[in-house]
Structure 1
Amino acid sequence: MFLPCSVTSVVPVWIMMAQLQQGGPDEKEKTTALKDLLSRIDLDELMKKDEPPLEFPDTLEGFEYIFNEKGQLRHIKTGEPFVFNYREDLHRWNQKRYEALGEIITKYVYELLQTECHLKKVTLPVDATESEPKSFIFMSEDALTNPDKLLVLIHGNGVVRAGQWARRLIINEDLDSGTQIPYIKKAIEEGYGVIVLNPNENYIEVEKTKAQVQLSSDSSDEPAEKRERKDKIQKETKKRRDFYEKYRNPQKEKETMQMYIRDNGSPEEHAIYVWDHFISQSAAENVFFVAHSYGGLAFVELMIQREAEVKNKVTAVALTDSVHNVWHQEVGKSIREWMRENCCNWVSSSEPLDTSVESMLPDCPRVSAGAVVPPSAPSLAHSPLWFPALERCTGSNITALWV
């Protein structure tokens, strides 16, 4: 097995310690000293010493990847799919590389929403000043003026952003599987207005100044005794680090701070804000939601906060692997009854598509998405069927909604 040179430099110390353990009292004292030395060596930090720089390209071409005509991510030269383990035994570096590629893909999807789906980007908050943190959503030109029907899409939590269902599917499968683009194109074709929410864009990250780093470590509000104890630990830690600094030279990541976006600091806040400023103001007689995973929880929270408005305007809701919980969210009886009539949750299951799945919760019906892996649910659940079903919706009979 290959070991980085930073680790192999410590191996002789281990060997020497093993030899000394067989000797007399003097050797045992040396063994104790060596054990102390080893206890002060952070092997994780040693592993970082041999990492390449955490600097990555800012374009797909820089990564030598491109999306082909089938929407699959492929290497420009070899035509091979994306390889996560680009460098053996460097998991942290590989993960950082994957995340950097993911950020590029996020921007790429944003571009597709505007160029292929012809959606416009709308800044949030609507009255944001030039200097404050901002988010945004995407919507069709007729989203607020379409008198007939409006489709609202909400993705799950994590790294995904507007227009995405699952980053993993985009990278490992294709754009149709991992993005909302097929939904959006079909919706526009069927005469829907469209609004695409961006519930995970809750803050911006800025690098801390030296003064801010120092301030955060001082914790002046703490009791004097606790502060003294912390100072003592910090001094001892610094002493240990200085002791073995010659053995390591790890890369230090920048310290950042989060600046939250006004009225959009969480997925739930975001959903309510977009409802108040856009969806509730739309002309559409029928509003339809498709919400995946945590997006389902955000929708239920919206119902709790705006029950009368939602009941009056929303016709049907398609949930996919929703993680909402009517008990934990303290959902009232009237909302649960409305959900039973107007919502359906397609869940990951080995059962055939649309087979009824038992639920322990007294809310909306659950049926199989025909997929075992959760992120696949949005792309597989009833995709060829649900637009005609919405068209036939009566708003009072769940079987009329989805069959």
Structure 2
Amino acid sequence: MTDASSPPRTLSGFGYHFNDAGELRNIKTGRPFEFNISNNPARNQEHYEAVGDAVAAYIEEQLVETLGLLRKIVPVDATPNEPTSKIFMSPNALTAAGKLLVLIPGINIRVGQWARKIVMNDNINKGSVFDYVRQGQSEGYEIMVLNNNENIGRALPGTKRRPIRGSESPERHVEYVFDSLIKGARAAQIFVVAHSFGGHCIARLVSSHQGANNIRARISAIAFTDSVHSLRSFESHSPDFSRWFQSHARNWVRSSRPLDTPIAPASLMAQCPCVSAGHEDHGYTTVTAIDSVFEFFAAKDSTGKRKQEAVASDESDHHNDADNDDRRPAPLSRSGSEKRHKE
């Protein structure tokens, strides 16, 4: 930082940018981010936090400008005299009748990120939600990115910081977004990815919230990534809930074993199947599990199943007609038939 009293606010101001591969690099030298810029540990940490703030602002900007999401202010009925937060969502997240993908990060992390250390030291696409948003968009999901760690703020510059209504805690933020936005969304199916403490937040919602039964009826699947949830800390739940949680949730946990290898849960109160995320680092579990997560969602996608069944039924009817209708014209040659099938 050139001036401790007035540090830069942008990545370029710090002399950094993200290259085409998504890596944070020094603009002049091309070197990776350097934490130790002096012999003063406090100054190094201060510099790291300041660059981290610039990275966070850049990620929010890219969610809108590159990925096409909208910034939605919460609470939705905020007055000018109260602090607010925001989430990010696709333009049709509340109106589309298909699939909605909800992304919930862990604790002490800015919106749009899974792990800041991965963003800054490895790759922005891995450490942020970018890969999940792109994959979701390519598979027909509407997107909603929650912001469960922005819990206090200022109504106006210079005013006292105070709790944000509806987002007073990570758990309350998740409840508020479901009650105020997702509850009224037209999505027929809701899929959730929840990392670390985000898993605690969604597990609490579906087990103990006042409208938990209605919420569970809308959720097709929950993918936890090294979640810290334990149902022991929530209100007692019925055998019906336990069966629902077992069949609708899966936790990709940190492990050196190959991806998707079944893992005995650390606690019986996890109450859902656990599999290896294929990585021993907590922060990377969301990164390495992405393909398996979307395969899990595809298996739980009732719309997709119905489409597959309809296609299979149509093909069966077609073959039966071909076998039974003697008046049908002579078939094309085998090579012609195969070519049409491949197309």
Q: TM-score, length-normalised on structure 1?
A: 0.70
Q: Does 1:59 align with 2:15?
A: no
Q: Which one is further off, 335-344 or 368-377? A: 335-344
Shift of 1:163: 1.1
The RMSD of aligned alpha carbons is 2.0
Within a 5 Å distance, the mapping from 1:239-250 to structure 2 comes to none
Is contact 1:203–1:259 with CA below 8 Å preserved after alignment? Answer: yes
Shift of 1:62: 1.3
One of 31, 36, 59 as aligned partner of 1:80: 31
One of 387, 392, 399 as aligned partner of 2:299: 392
Shift of 1:389: 3.5
Question: What is the distance in 2 between the residues matched to 1:380 and 1:331?
Answer: 33
Q: Does 1:310 align with 2:215?
A: yes
Is contact 2:82–2:155 with CA below 8 Å preserved after alignment? Answer: no
Shift of 1:208: 12
One of 48, 55, 63 as aligned partner of 1:98: 48
- Unaligned runs of 5+ residues in structure 2 are 303-343
Question: What is the distance in 2 between the residues matched to 1:149 and 1:264?
Answer: 25
SS of residue in 1 equivalent to 2:172 = helix
Is contact 1:148–1:285 with CA below 8 Å preserved after alignment? Answer: yes
Within a 5 Å distance, the mapping from 1:290-305 to structure 2 comes to 290-303=193-206, 304-305=208-209
Partner residue, 1:213: none
Change (3 A) 1:208 1:368: same
One of 259, 262, 272 as aligned partner of 1:356: 262
Question: What is the distance in 2 between the residues matched to 1:309 and 1:352?
Answer: 36
Is contact 2:81–2:155 with CA below 8 Å preserved after alignment? Answer: no
Shift of 1:110: 0.4
What is the one-letter code of the residue matched to 1:323? V
Q: Does 1:140 align with 2:43?
A: no
Within a 5 Å distance, the mapping from 1:36-185 to structure 2 comes to 53=4, 55-88=6-39, 90-158=40-108, 160-185=109-134
Is contact 2:84–2:155 with CA below 8 Å preserved after alignment? Answer: no
Residue deviations 1:1-58, cap 9 Å, x none?
Answer: xxxxxxxxxxxxxxxxxxxxxxxxxxxxxxxxxxxxxxxxxxxxxxxxxxx8464211
Change (3 A) 1:327 1:319: same
Q: Which one is further off, 358-367 or 111-120? A: 358-367
Within a 5 Å distance, the mapping from 1:198-347 to structure 2 comes to 198-204=147-153, 258-303=161-206, 304-305=208-209, 306-333=211-238, 334-347=240-253
Question: What is the distance in 1 between the residues matched to 2:150 and 2:284?
Answer: 22
What is the one-letter code of the residue matched to 1:157? I
Partner residue, 1:368: 276
Is contact 1:176–1:379 with CA below 8 Å preserved after alignment? Answer: no
Is contact 2:83–2:154 with CA below 8 Å preserved after alignment? Answer: no
What is the one-letter code of the residue matched to 2:228? V
Question: What is the distance in 1 between the residues matched to 2:97 and 2:253?
Answer: 32
Question: What is the distance in 2 between the residues matched to 1:355 and 1:331?
Answer: 30
- Unaligned runs of 5+ residues in structure 1 are 1-51, 210-255, 396-403
Question: What is the distance in 1 between the residues matched to 2:164 and 2:236?
Answer: 27
- Deviating 4+ runs (over 2 angstroms): 52-56, 205-209, 328-331, 333-337, 384-389
Question: What is the distance in 2 between the residues matched to 1:331 and 1:393?
Answer: 26
Is contact 2:254–2:277 with CA below 8 Å preserved after alignment? Answer: yes
Is contact 1:146–1:192 with CA below 8 Å preserved after alignment? Answer: no
Is contact 2:226–2:254 with CA below 8 Å preserved after alignment? Answer: yes
SS of residue in 1 equivalent to 2:33 = coil
How many residues were matched structurally?
295
Is contact 1:347–1:369 with CA below 8 Å preserved after alignment? Answer: yes
Is contact 1:326–1:361 with CA below 8 Å preserved after alignment? Answer: no
Q: TM-score, length-normalised on structure 2?
A: 0.82
Shift of 1:207: 11
Question: What is the distance in 2 between the residues matched to 1:394 and 1:284?
Answer: 12
